[in-house]
Amino acid sequence: MSARNARKDAIAAIADLKAPEPMVDYTQHPVTEVFGANVFNDAVMRARLPKATYKALRRTIDEGAPLDPAVADVVANAMKDWAIEQGATHYTHWFLPLTGLTAEKHDSFITPTADGRVIVEFSGKELIKGEPDASSFPSGGIRATFEARGYTAWDVTSPAFLVDGVNGKTLCIPTAFVSYTGEALDKKTPLLRSIEALNKQALRALRLFGNTTTMKVLSTVGPEQEYFLVDRHFYLQRPDLINAGRSLFGARPPKGQEMEDHYFGAIRARVLAFMMEAELELYKLGIPVKTRHNEVSPAQFEIAPVYEHCNLSTDHNMLVMETLKSIAERHGFACLLHEKPFAGVNGSGKHVNWSMATSCGQNLLDPGNTPHENAQFLFFLTAVIRAVYMHAKLLRASVALAGNDHRLGANEAPPAIISIFLGAQLSEVVSQIIEGRCEPGHHGGCLEIGVSTLPALPKDATDRNRTSPFAFTGNKFEFRAVGSSQSIALPLITINTIVAESIDYLVSQLEAATSDGAELNIALQALLQHTLAECQGVLFDGDNYTEEWVVEAARRGLPNLKSAVEALPALVEPETLAMFSAYGVFTEREQESRCTVMLENYIKAVNIEAQLTLQVARTMILPAALRYQQAVAQTVLATREALALVTAGGGDAMVSSPQEALLAEAAELTGSLKLAIDALAEVHGVAHELDSGELAHARYFHDVVIPAMTEVRIKADALELLVDDNIWPLPKYREMLFIY
C-alpha cells in the first residue's frame, strides 16, 4: 500500500469508529464503592490485621517507629490473602529508578513442595526486602555494570495496590531502591529523606510559636497533568512520535489554537469515554482525580487530583501517567506526555501545587484569621520566598530536561527565570514589612506582626498569574515549570530541602535573638523585615513573558538559565552539595550521580532525535520530494512538447511556464534539504567522536546538533507546503490535531 493510501485510509478508519461501550455503571457501582478497591489501604488493614499489629504498623507509618519483623510477617500474610482473593497471582516491589519511569520484577506467590505440589506463601522478609538486578539502571557512576546487586525496601507510608492484568492481578508494593553499599539508586529514597528534613525543621519553627501538639509536618502536593491524544492510525505512521515522543517535522496548520475554541470546550464523546475509563482505573487505585478538561491546544487535555501527602502524590502521579498511556491504547489513541509534541501550539506541563500541613490538619501556608496564625503564616511564607531566592538555579535545574527546553521560556509556559508571584494583597503586606510601615492598607488594617492587625486574607484574594513559574495561589504555591513527562520527585525533593534549609536559617536566627533576651515578636518583626528586603528581588507580579522582564531580572541579579545544559551544573555547585548533605537528602556522590544521569539523558534524547531526523528525512521526506519533482518535470516536458508543436505550426513560443517555475522551486528546496541532511550527518558524526565529559558533550548537542536538526526541519516543512498532498508520506498537523 502506498503512503498516500495509508494516510487516507487512516482518516477513513477514524471516521468509521464507533463509540465504545461504557466500562462501568456507576448507578450499580457508585464511585464510593469503586474508590480504593485495588488498594491495601487503612480500611483493609484495620479489618484484616489484629489490633496490636495494626497499631504497631500505624506507629511506623505515622511516627516513623521501627518496624518489628514479627509485625511484617503478619502484615505480609494478610496482604497476600487479600491480594489472592482479588485475583492476584504475583507480587512485585514497585520502584522509581533514575530512568524517570517505574520498574518492577514479578515473583509468584507459589512455593514448590516435596510432593510435587505448590503452596501459596508470602513472608515478612519477602515483603520488606527484594533484590532486583541493579546493573542496567542508570546510576551516574554509583554502580559499575558488573556490580549487579541492588535492594528494594518496603515503603510503609505508600499503600500496596493491585494492577489489573489480562489473566489476573499483580500486587505492587511501593519500595525504595538502593545499591549494595546503601546509596540511593532511585527517586523515592531521597524524597523520603527530604520529607523528613522538612518535618524536622518545620517542627522546630512550630515549637518556637508555642505549638506543642503537632507531631509531624508533611508537604502536600496536587500535580496537574497535561497530555495530548493522537489517533493511533496517525501515530503509527510517525516514527518520530513513536521513538521520540514528539513530531520532528510538521508544517503549522492553517488553524492551530488561535481561535481558543478548544480550551474548556465540550469534550468529544470518544475522548470522554477514554477519560472515564482512565478515571475508573485510577479510582480503583485510590487516586483522587478530581478535574478533567480540554486544554489550550487542540488535542490537548488535563487531569488533576486533589492534594495528598508528597510521597503518595509522587507515586500516584507515576500511576496516572502509566494509566493514561495504557487506557489510551484501548481506545485507539496514543497518549503523548512529551513537553512539546507539536511545534506552533502550546506544550504540556505539570503544575505542581505544594504546601505544608501539620498532623493536626493545619495548612501552614493558609493565612488564617488570628494574629498568632498570621505571624506564623508570614514566617513560613518568608521561608519559602528566601528558599526560592537563594536556590533559584537549583529549582530551575530540577526541571531541566531536553523536552522542557522546547517549553520553558516560550510565551506559553513559565520562563526560565525563576520568580515568585504573590498577588496585590500579599505584595502590599510584604512591602509594609520591608518598609517598616504601620498604616492602614487597601485591604485591611495596620500591620504589626504578632499583635493584631494583619487582615484576614481570603484564599482567593487576588488574580492568578499564569506566566509566573512559582505563584502563591491562596494557600499554596504552584510550581508551573515542571515538565509533563517527568517524575515530580526531583522538583519536590528540591522544594522540600530548600524550604527546610530556609526554615532552619530563620529559626536559628530567632533562637539566637531570644537567647540574647529579645522578645520573640520583636525579633520576628526584625528578621522578616531584613530577610524580605534581602530577597525581594525574586518577587514579581507582572508579565513574565515580556522582554522588559528579562532585562529587569538581569538587573536584579536573577539567573536566566535558558537550557537544560546551562541549568544542570547547578546540581553540583559546592553550596548545593553541602546543603543536600547537611540535611541528609543526598550524599555528594548521590547528588553528583543525578547530574551525570540527567546530562546523559539529555545527550541520549537529542541523539535519538538527530538519528530520527536523518532517517525520516532521508527515507521518507526526500524520496517524496523527488517523486514530486519528477512528476513536475514530466509535466514540464509534456508542456514543452506541446509548445514545440504549436511553434512548428506557426504559433508563438513561450519562453517559460508556471510548471517550470514550480520545478525550479521544488528542485531548490529539495537540494537545500539534501544539503541540510548532509550537514546534520556531519555534525552528528562528530558528536560520537567526542570524549570530553558529559557536560561538554551535552553542550555540543545543544549548540551544534540541535541547530542542524532545525535546519533540516525548516526545509522539510517548506516542502510539505509544496509537495502534492497525495505524495506526502507523514500525517500532517491538520490531521493529527483535529481528527480524533
Strands 420-421 and 470-472 come out as parallel
Strands 169-179 and 225-231 come out as unpaired
Residue 651 has pLDDT above 70, yes or no: no
Closest alpha carbon to 70 in 151, 121, 111, 128: 128
Average the pLDDT over each of 360-374, 383-397, 600-614, 650-664 and give the range with the smallest value. Answer: 650-664
The conformational region for residue 423 under phi > 0 = left, psi -120 to 50 = alpha, else beta, is left
User: How high is the pLDDT of residue 650?
Assistant: 55
pLDDT digits (tens, 9 = 90+) for 620-632: 999 999 999 999 8
All cell numbers assigned to 611: 538519528
Structural domains of the chain sorted by starting position, each given as residue range(s) with its CATH number in brackets: 1-21+225-349 (3.30.590.10), 35-130+154-174 (no CATH), 195-223+354-567 (no CATH), 601-645+657-736 (1.20.120.1560)
Residue type, 504: D
**Which position has the higher pLDDT, 534 or 447?**
534
Collapsing DSSP to helix, strand or coil, 554 comes out as helix
Collapsing DSSP to helix, strand or coil, 540 comes out as coil
What backbone phi and psi angles, to 5 degrees, belong to 168?
A: 160, -165
To which residue does cell 492476584 refer? Answer: 88
pLDDT digits (tens, 9 = 90+) for 254-263: 888 878 888 8
User: How high is the pLDDT of residue 347?
Assistant: 92
User: How high is the pLDDT of residue 546?
Assistant: 87
Q: Average pLDDT, stretch 314-318? A: 97
- List the strands of the sheet with 477-479, edge to edge: 308-309, 217-223, 352-358, 477-479, 470-472, 420-421
Distances (CA, A) of 74 to 79, 81, 123, 124, 261: 9, 11, 8, 7, 56
Encode 39-70: b = buried (16+ Cβ within 10 Å), e = exposed: bbeeebbeebbeeebbebbbebbeeeeebeee
Cβ within 8 Å of residue 4, ≥6 positions away: 726, 727
Residue 644 has pLDDT above 90, yes or no: no
Rounded-to-integer distance, Cα 395 and Cα 384, Å: 12
User: How high is the pLDDT of residue 112?
Assistant: 85
Residue type, 73: D
Cα-trace Rg, the chain = 29
Residue 655 has pLDDT above 70, yes or no: no
> Confidence class of residue 458 from pLDDT cuts 50, 70 and 90?
low
Rounded-to-integer distance, Cα 709 and Cα 676, Å: 8
Residue type, 382: T
Q: How many CB atoms lie within 10 A of CB 399?
A: 29
Rounded-to-integer distance, Cα 647 and Cα 280, Å: 75
Rounded-to-integer distance, Cα 528 and Cα 507, Å: 11
The helix-helix angle for 489-515 and 371-390 (nearest 10°) equals 120
User: How high is the pLDDT of residue 456?
Assistant: 56
Cβ within 8 Å of residue 634, ≥6 positions away: none
**Which position has the higher pLDDT, 298 or 441?**
298
Q: What are the DSSP calls for 661-718, one per residue?
A: HHHHHHHHHHHHHHHHHHHHHHHHHHHTT--S-HHHHHHHIIIIIHHHHHHHHHHHHH
Rounded-to-integer distance, Cα 401 and Cα 485, Å: 10
**Which position has the higher pLDDT, 143 or 646?**
143
> Confidence class of residue 138 from pLDDT cuts 50, 70 and 90?
confident
Kindly state the helix (H) or strand (E) to which residue 150 belongs, with its residue range. strand 150-154
Residue 124 has pLDDT above 50, yes or no: yes
Rounded-to-integer distance, Cα 692 and Cα 412, Å: 35
pLDDT digits (tens, 9 = 90+) for 61-75: 988 888 888 999 999
Specify the pTM. Answer: 0.92
SS (H, E, C) 306-348: CCEEHHHHHHHHHHHHHHHHHHHHHCCEEEECCCCCCCCCCCC
Residue 446 has pLDDT above 50, yes or no: no
Rounded-to-integer distance, Cα 429 and Cα 433, Å: 6
Closest alpha carbon to 563 in 532, 596, 599: 599
> Confidence class of residue 369 from pLDDT cuts 50, 70 and 90?
low
All cell numbers assigned to 424: 496585590
User: How high is the pLDDT of residue 477?
Assistant: 95
> Confidence class of residue 439 from pLDDT cuts 50, 70 and 90?
low
Could you say which DSSP state residue 570 is in?
G
Residue type, 365: L
500 and 583 Cβ atoms separated by less than 8 Å: yes
Average the pLDDT over each of 444-448, 492-496, 633-637, 721-725 and give the range with the smallest value. Answer: 444-448
User: How high is the pLDDT of residue 453?
Assistant: 43
All cell numbers assigned to 86: 482479588
Of the chain, the percentage scoring pLDDT greater than 90 comes to: 65
> Confidence class of residue 135 from pLDDT cuts 50, 70 and 90?
confident
Rounded-to-integer distance, Cα 93 and Cα 79, Å: 13
Q: Average pLDDT, stretch 474-481? A: 92
Instruction: Tell whether the torsion through CA atoms of 733, 734, 738 and 740 is positive or negative.
Output: negative
Q: Average pLDDT, stretch 154-180? A: 92
SS (H, E, C) 107-144: EECEEECCCCCEEECCCHHHHHEECCECCCCCCCCCCC
Mean pLDDT of the chain: 89
All cell numbers assigned to 54: 495494626
Rounded-to-integer distance, Cα 414 and Cα 491, Å: 15
User: How high is the pLDDT of residue 131?
Assistant: 83
551 and 558 Cβ atoms separated by less than 8 Å: no
pLDDT digits (tens, 9 = 90+) for 75-109: 999 999 999 999 999 999 999 999 989 999 999 99
Residue 551 has pLDDT above 80, yes or no: yes
> Confidence class of residue 471 from pLDDT cuts 50, 70 and 90?
very high
User: How high is the pLDDT of residue 258?
Assistant: 79
> Confidence class of residue 32 from pLDDT cuts 50, 70 and 90?
confident
pLDDT digits (tens, 9 = 90+) for 318-368: 999 999 999 999 999 999 999 999 999 999 999 999 999 998 889 999 887
Q: Average pLDDT, stretch 167-191? A: 92
Closest alpha carbon to 423 in 478, 363, 500, 494: 478
User: How high is the pLDDT of residue 643?
Assistant: 65
695 and 572 Cβ atoms separated by less than 8 Å: no
Collapsing DSSP to helix, strand or coil, 479 comes out as strand
